[in-house]
Structure 1
Amino acid sequence: MARAHARGRWRTALGVAAVVVVVAAGLAALGLYLAPRVLPNIGAEVAVGDTVETLRGDGVSARITVPDGWVARRAWQRDDEISVRSPDGGVEVTLRAVAEDAAAAAAGVRGAVPDSAALVTERLASGLSAVHAEADGDGVVVAAVGAASGASVSVVARADPERLTAYRPVIARVLEGIEVGG
C-alpha cells in the first residue's frame, strides 16, 4: 500500500510539473509575441500642442519641435536622438544631434538612399541650411539641418512610398522646427 501511495505522489508531482512547464512555455510565447510590440513604445509620449524636445550630445544641443498629436520616443539611454511618428503612424522621423555641419551630417545619413539621389541644399526660414535627398520609390528622405559650419541635426524620414508625397509638408514642418545650438 505504501508503494501505491508513493506511486500516486510521483504521478501527482509529474502532473504538476507538466502543468508548470506548459504554463511557463505559454507565458514565454506570449512574452515573445508581445515584446516587439510593447518595448519600442516604452517611454513614448504623445505631444499635446507643439512640444519642444532638446537633444544633447558631445557639446551639441538642438531643439526639436514635435507637432501636436505626434508620438515622440527617445532612443534608449541616449540624449542625442529622438524619433517622432505622425498620429496615423504613416511617417516616422528620426532626428539626431551631431557635431558636424549640415553637409557632412547629410553625407553621414546618405546611406539610407541610393547614390543616384541628389543632395539639395535649401535655406530655411530660420536661416539654417537644410541639405536633403529623397530616394525615388523607397519612401525615405534623408536630411541635415544646421548652419554652414558647426553642429547640425541629421534626419531620416521613412514612410510608405505611395504616401510619401502626402507627408512632404509635415516632414518640412519638422525640419523647420529644428533649432541648433553649440
Structure 2
Amino acid sequence: MCGVTRVKAQLWGVALQTAMLAGICVLFGIAENQIQLIALALVVFTIKAAGIPIFLARSAKQMDIDRDKGVGISPTLTLMVGCIVLYLGYSLAPEFAVPSMMNRGSAGMALSLIMTGMLLMITRRLAISQVIGFLTMENGIFLYSLTQTHHMPVLVEMGVVFEVLIAVLISGVFIYRINRSFEHIDVSDMRRLRH
C-alpha cells in the first residue's frame, strides 16, 4: 500500500489484509479448538474487512476523492521506504517475539504492519489515507496479540475491534467536516492554523 496513490486501491488493500488476518484467526481457532477465536474472526471480517472499507469508500466517493499524492514523497520512494520497514520488522522480530513461541515470522510481520501503518500516517496528505494507515497499524497490533500473547481474552480483542470502528466513524465525520469547511481534506494546509 506504500506505493499506491488511489484511495480505492488502498481501501481494497486494507480490506484484503484484514480478511487474511481473520483467516489466520480462524486457523488458530480450529487448531486450538477455540470457538471464541472463530467468532472473533467473524466480527473482524464483518466490521474491519467489509464494513469499514465500504464506509470509507462511500465517504471518498461523496467527497470526490480519487488519489492521494502524498506529502512531498513520491510513491516509488515511499515503496522503497516500505521495503526497508519490512526488513526492519523482520530484523527486530527476535527482540519482540515471545521466547516460548515459535512464531518469529508472525512477530516480524506484525512489527512490519505496525511500522507500515505509521509510515502511511506520516507520508500521506489526505485524512482518509491516514485513517487507512491507522487501520494498517491496528492490524499489526491484532496480529501480534493473536500470535504472540496466545490466549489473549477474546472479549478484549472484540472491544478493540469496536473501538477501532468507533474511531473510524468519528474520523469519517471529521473528514466530512474538514471537506465542508476547507473544500478538501488535505491536512498539510492545516499547518497554517498553528500560527
TM-score normalised by the shorter chain: which range applies? under 0.3
Question: TM-score, length-normalised on structure 1?
Answer: 0.27
Q: Which structure's residues are more often strand, by fraction? A: 1
More relative contact order, 1 or 2 (CA 8 Å, 6+ apart): 2
Structure 1 or 2, whichever has the larger Rg, is 1
